[in-house]
Structures are given as C-alpha cells and as structure tokens.
Amino acid sequence: MVESTAPLLRIKDLAITFDPSGPRSDRAHAVAGLDLEIDPGEIVALVGESGSGKSLTARAVLGLLPEGARAEGSVVLGGTEVVGSDERTLNKLRGGIAAMVFQEPQTALNPVQTIGRQLVDAVRLRPGFSSATARARAIELLRAVEIPEPERRLVWYPHQLSGGQKQRVVIALALSGSPRLIIADEPTTALDVTVQAEILALLRRLRDETGTAILIITHNMGVVADLADRVVVLRDGGVVEHAEVETLFRSPTAEYTQHLLAAVPRLDVPPADLADASSAADARAPGGEEVALLDLDRVSVQYPARGRRAAFRALDGVSLRLTAGEVLGLVGESGSGKTTLGRVALGATAPSEGSVRLLGHDPRSLDRSELRALRRGIALVPQDPAASLDPRWTIQDCVAEPLVVHRAADVAGVRRRVAELLDAVHLPAAVARRRPAELSGGQRQRVALARALALSPRLVVADEPTSALDVSVQARVLELFNELRAEFGFAALFISHDLAVINEIAHRVAVLHAGQVVETGPTGTVFGDPAGDYTRRLVAAVPIPDPAIQRRSAVSSSTR
C-alpha cells in the first residue's frame, strides 16, 4: 500500500555496472551507492558533467538501461520495485507513473507520422479511450503544452514545427498517460536560449497546475536555478551533494560543487578585466596606423535556389570591423548566420554582395599563392575538437600540419615549434606521440588551439570552441584562450550561442539575428543595457545560475 506521505520515487543504494566484456567495460562502475527521493509535485534536478552517471540513473528509473548495463539496489517508483522487474510490470509504470522527455526532439518524434497520429496512439495505450475521445484528449494535451490552434496542428508533421514546438509535442506525449513523474533528460540542451526559457516556463506551469513531479537532468546551472526545488549533484556515479536549491547556490558545501559553480560563466557579472585591446594593438602595429584585420562592408551571402528550395540569404548587409588585439564576440541563435559569417572571415565563403577585407586584402583580388599566404595569418578553432583532429594522426602531426602545409620550418624546426605550442597550451610534451582518441575533450581542444596558433596568426576565428565541453573544462579553456591572446597578441572573432561565455571573453559583441547585425558595441554595454528589442529578449532569456535572481526575473518577465 502506498501511503500519501510516501515518496513518489525512492532510489536506494543504486549501482549500475557495465558488463566487463561489453563495449563500455571502461566504466565498470558507472553509478554506485546512489540514494534519491522525489515527493509528489517536486522538481528535482540531477546535475553533473559528462560521465557522472546522471542519464543512466534516470534511465534506470524506467528500466531503460542500455545493453550490457545492469542495475542493483532498489528503485521504488509509485510503490513498485523497478530493479529486476519484468517488462510487463515496467510497461505499466512507463507512461502511467513516470514518463520520459528526451534531449533531442528531432529524433523523439516519428517524422513520417502526423503529430496527431502519434498523440492518439500514445493516448490509446491507456484503456478507456475510443478514437473520438482519444482525439479530444490529444487536442487537450496540445493545449496543455501551449501549442496554438491544436485542432489544426493535429495533421501536421514534425518537420512543420519549430524545434521548441517539437519539444512541446514530446512533452505532450509524455503527459498522455497522466504520469505522476516526468523525467526530462536535458530537455532544453538542443534548443535556443529564448526557446529554452519558454520550455522551462511550461514545465514549471505543468507542475504548478497538475502537481506532476519532475526529475530534470541537466548540466546547465542556470536551468537548475530556474526550475529546481532540490538539487542532487553527481560526480563519477555518486552523490556529491544534495540540497535545497537556494542553499546549494548560496553556500555549497562540497568542494566539487563550489568548483562547478565557480566555473559557470555568468552574464550578470561584469567581465573580468581582459587584457586591454588597444595596448595589444600597439604592440602589434608599430606603424601606429590602425589597420582593420577584418573589415566587412555591407556583406551579404546568398545560397542560390536549388530545385524547389528557395534561395536563402544567410547574411544580409553585415558590416563589421575587427582591429588588432581585439576580441569580437558574435552571438546569435541557430540559423542567425553566425557560422556563415565565420566562414566569410576565414575567406572560405565569398560574399555575394558587399566587400570583405581580410588583413587588409580583398581575398577575391588575390591569386592562389597570395591567398595561401593570406591564410597563414588567419586560423580557425573549430567547434568539435574530436571531429577536427584526424583520428589517424598523432598529436604531433596534427599540431604540425599548418607548419608543414606552409613549409614554415624544417623537420627539427617543426618538432621544436610543436613542443613550444604544446607547452603554451599546458599539455605535457608526451602528448605529442598520442592520438586524438586517447585525449579528453578539453585536452583535444587545447590541441586544436595549439594547431591554430602554429603560424602565429593575426586573426583567429573561434567557432563555438567550447560548446562541446563540460562547464569546468570550458572555464579552463576560456582561461587559456585569454592567456594565449595576451602571449601571442592575436585578434579573435569568437562565435558562440552562449552569451555568458561571450561576456567573459569579448571586448566587443555583435548580435546577429536572421542574418543581420542588430546590435553591436562594448560587451558590458550590450549585455548590461541592451538597446534593441531582440537583444533585450535574448539577454532576458539566459537563465542566471542564482535562484534568487533568476526567480525574480522569471516572475517579472511572466507578468510583463
């Protein structure tokens, strides 16, 4: 019998192990000795960095562990023991007692069925629904997740919806069985920040109105501060700290939590003093005359129409200047043209209109060898360090590639230079003989930085260099970036969707929206006192990792 005071979910001494002969035997004990309780109507956040076991724990609640993984201990969900239960018992729990919302709405919906069909099918899994009442219920669910005109949307296919709307439909699917617990695994990670704010508001409202408890798994401390009542911090498969959300943010007790919170970049704190742009510029330009390293004048990039697909204007009349020693942050949501602008700055994409001057030259007027020479002065730090390093190459070869391509040094010189560069990014010399797969994500991004700096470029284009990294690793890479900039004196175009990261690293910022620069200026001014409407919305949507501030702003923005 379940008493009314009993927790909805009680995890006791949970251990998840991988079959030692299986594919992930490196993580023999993925989770060990984990305790967790969730009461009805409560929002609990499970926080941790990659490999902390947070997703595994969540999956264990519904008996959805990947192949080769085994759970021990006890997971009692709504009075039923999950560990060791057969599929029939589990199927009764899934959807009815607890439902799951996954990270990527793109793959959670079937692309060839209408959302109405998928909702009706989910509703009819429960007894007592005819096809007519199931349809009514589907409409009701869509209304609950605030999809406008639900009757008409029923016949839409997933591709007709935006990312945020898709995630709403996924949540509607989760709600179809009227679960008492929703397990949301990074539900907003794939979404833009303004959309994330809407989804978080929706989750909070669902809890307030229906009393559904929520277990949210996230790496984003801002999301935690926004939504959670209680927080469980995981590390290496064990609970490090367990506290009320206010307590955790105000006075974290575990050293790890303190580190984690300190590593989170913040938008509400003025940036730490960056090395002054003008002094660095003086050091680089002895002539005294300031030459823009990157000068875009009303640049447009249009991708031509293809078949039935209409022409797409990725950039529309963008004008930007970047002078020596300066870091220009480029923020914008997905589809705003950030990456295209980065490619223009690299000379990899030619503008369809307007003029581009890179390091004082128009790339279109240069012949092949001049263009190659120009490329020596511009380097790219790519987004995903794992994909940007050839898996077959040693780190030595990866870092040396620009030197060899440009025949910048002899064999001994290359060796020496690589050693210098690895030292500059604080990697041990022994790394040179390893291959990318043997390094961690943070170490790989250091290698990518070392490679970018090999030819001492004057301009570095960094395209979301930290978005694939854990927050504590990100903090160290950003720190290193600043350090290297002071040492090497390069200017940078730093592209990121994360306003807080830009806040920490850029002197000036340009806000990109639908291919246009809507606002540009010193970072502190743009983020502290945004002039444009879009920028204001963007800044307001960023969750601040401090529950006291975040709750206040959430209330004020919802009443506005």
Partner 1 sequence: MSELSHQLQLTEEPSGPDLGLGARGHWRQRHRLLSSLTRGQGLAGVGMIGVIVLVGLLAPLLTPWHPVQQIPGSHLVPPGGDHLFGTDQLSRDIASRVFYGIRASLLVAVVAVPAGTLLGVLVGVVATWHPLSDLLTQRVFDLVLAFPALILGILLSVVAGPGMLTVIVVIVIAETPIVGRLVRSQVLRVRELSYVDTAQVMGAGGGWVLRRHVLPNVLEPIGVHVALAFSGAIFAESAMSFLGLGVRPPAPSLGGVIADSLLYLEVRPWFALAPLTVVVALSVGFYLIAQALGKASRG
The reply on whether position 216 binds partner 1 by CB under 8 A is: no
Structure tokens at 242: 């367990």
The reply on whether position 383 binds partner 1 by CB under 8 A is: yes
Task: State in angstroms the smallest separation of the CB of 554 from partner 1.
Answer: 30
In whole angstroms, what separates CA 309 from the centre of its chain? Answer: 29
CA distance 533 to 285: 38
**Options 22, 40, 41, 51; binder of partner 1; rule CB under 8 A:** 51
CA angle 254, 258, 259 (to 5 degrees): 115
Picking from 452, 459, 451, the residue whose alpha carbon sits closest to that of residue 296 is 459
Q: What is the 3-state secondary structure (H, E, C) of 387-440?
A: HHCCCCCCHHHHHHHHHHHCCCCCHHHHHHHHHHHHHHCCCCHHHHHCCHHHCC
The reply on whether position 407 binds partner 1 by CB under 8 A is: no
Are the C-beta atoms of residues 183 and 9 closer than 8 Å to each other? no
The reply on whether position 380 binds partner 1 by CB under 8 A is: yes
Cβ-based nearer residue to partner 1, 337 or 436: 436
Task: State in angstroms the smallest separation of the CB of 327 from partner 1.
Answer: 19
The reply on whether position 8 binds partner 1 by CB under 8 A is: no
Q: In what order do the strands lie in the sheet with 43-47?
A: 98-101, 181-185, 213-218, 43-47, 230-235, 238-244
Site map 158..187 versus partner 1, x via CB under 8 A: ------------------------------
Picking from 112, 189, 99, 107, the residue whose alpha carbon sits closest to that of residue 145 is 99
Pairing of strands 327-331, 508-513: parallel
Cβ-based nearer residue to partner 1, 474 or 503: 474
Q: How many CB atoms lie within 10 A of CB 469?
A: 22
**Options 130, 309, 430, 559; binder of partner 1; rule CB under 8 A:** 430
Residue 262 amino acid letter:
A
386 to 405, contacts with partner 1 by CB under 8 A? 387-390, 392, 401-402, 405
Task: State in angstroms the smallest separation of the CB of 391 from partner 1.
Answer: 8
Collapsing DSSP states into helix, strand and coil, what is residue 265? coil
The reply on whether position 256 binds partner 1 by CB under 8 A is: yes
Task: State in angstroms the smallest separation of the CB of 217 from partner 1.
Answer: 16
Piece in contact with partner 1 (CB under 8 A), picked from 43-51, 86-94, 124-132, 154-162: 43-51
Piece in contact with partner 1 (CB under 8 A), picked from 161-169, 466-474, 485-493, 529-537: 466-474
The reply on whether position 470 binds partner 1 by CB under 8 A is: yes
Which residues make up the interface to partner 1 (CB under 8 A)?
49-52, 235-236, 256, 259, 346, 348, 371-372, 375-376, 378-380, 382-384, 387-390, 392, 401-402, 405-406, 426, 428, 430-431, 434-435, 437-438, 440-443, 451, 470, 472-473, 476
